[in-house]
Every structure is written in structure tokens, then in C-alpha cells.
Amino acid sequence: MSDSFYERETVIHEVVEAKRSEICYNLIVDLIKGNIRRKGALKILDVGCGDGGFVVRFKKFCEVWGLDISRIAVKKALNAGVNAYVVDVSSQRLPFPDRFFDIVYMGDVIEHLVNPDFAVEEVARIIKTDGYMVLSTPNLASWLNRLILLFGMQPLFSEVSTLRQFGRFKGRTAFSVGHLRLFTYRALKEFLEYYGFKVLKFVGAPCMGLPKMLSWIDQTFSKIPSLSSIVVVVCVRKDRL
């Protein structure tokens, strides 16, 4: 996908205020306050940091760093006080030494990557042993997608075009948001374990923008991560045996 896709202003700050971001924020605060015992300042990296609006909230706890493919986003993040770099994490080695970060956050990033294997292996390299990764991504096998497929429609979060959404309800032709890889609950767990992460917690989160009745049902299903619209994962980096 062209880098220019991610230079759109609507993409740069689209999920910072979402419910899943608040869930991730609280999980990271819990890690900082209760799980990590290290000398010196903690270091946190936001992969896909956008304008830095999420990670800069941790500045009172940590050194804050960010990566994004968008030059516009990185400029905004730098202005916000984040140590930010322009990097395509699907293909470029991350500009950090081994075992550098205590926490890495990947919020709604992995589904956009051409090569998630390369990216996650690089993330595993730069996380300290017993450091943490918090990740959120849409759930291909959500309750709503299972229902939608019965009607022969394109599942939510999956796209056949980088310009428009096709195969949905008539009239729903919103812009594509660039999803390339979708995971089920089970596939995500196996994928992360393969790259040296031990999954500690799965949490469900609701989808944004659903009609009121569907939103209420979605909130209910978010209590069951395997059926929720969004899955949030907390995992710890372990050296491979």
C-alpha cells in the first residue's frame, strides 16, 4: 500500500479516543504501577503512534517513543514531545538496540501490515526480556462477522479496496481504512507465541460507529474476547528455549 494512504488527516488520529484505546491505556498503567520493577526511567514505544496523542499521556511515567509510516504524523508527534521516527515496520529494521524497551504498544496496527511477521519479530527484538507488549486488533471471528457472513456480505474490518468499502449494506461506501491482515482470537495467540510472547490476558472491546441497538449487543459480546469486535492482548516477552 502506498505510504500516501497514511498521510490522510482522517487516518492519523482516528482511534485515540476509541474505547479500545482507553482499555489499552488502563492496562499499560497497571503494568507500569504493578508489574515492572526496574532501575531508571521506563521506556515505552508506540508502534503506529499517529500524532502521539496516545503515548504522550505516559510522559509522567516513562520516556515516550513512537514510530509511524506517516511523515505528517511523526512531525505532529515530535511537536507533542514524543521521540518519533518515520519507519515502515513491515520492511524496515527498527532504529533501536536489542532489549531497549520495557513496554511496546501496537494499537490497531498489525491489521495494516504487509509483513506482520517481520514487524513482530523486530518488536520482540527490542523488548527487554520480561518486558510487555499491549496490542489491539479487530477480530475476524466476532459475533457480528459470523452473522454478516450468513448473508453473504463482506465481514467488518476486511476490505477489498484501498479506496472504498465494497460488499456491505447498500449505501455503506465509506473510505477504506487499509486493513490487510485479520486475526481470529486463536490465530493471534498462536502467532504471538511463535515469536516468543506469552499471552497473559485477552480483553474484548466494542466497535465504533454501530447503530444504537447493534452497539448495545456489541458491548455485551465484548465481555467474551473470542466473540468481541476488537481484541486487546497483554503479553510478556520471553527468551525462546
| pLDDT one digit per residue (tens) for the chain, 241 residues | 445 545 555 544 454 556 788 999 999 999 998 867 666 789 999 999 999 999 999 998 899 999 999 999 999 999 999 999 999 999 999 999 999 999 999 999 999 999 999 999 999 999 999 999 999 999 999 999 999 999 999 998 888 887 888 887 765 555 567 888 999 999 999 999 999 999 999 999 999 888 899 999 999 999 999 999 999 999 999 875 4
| Domains in the chain: ranges and CATH | 3-138+183-236 (3.40.50.150)
Name, in order, each residue with C-beta under 8 angstroms of 80's C-beta and a sequence gap of 6 or more: 51, 52, 53, 56
User: What pTM was computed for the model?
Assistant: 0.89
- Which amino acid is located at 198 in the chain? K
Task: State residue 2's pLDDT score.
Answer: 47
**Owner of C-alpha cell 518519533:** 84
Tens digits of residue pLDDT in 197-212: 999 999 999 998 888 9
d(CA 116, CA 119): 5
d(CA 45, CA 225): 25
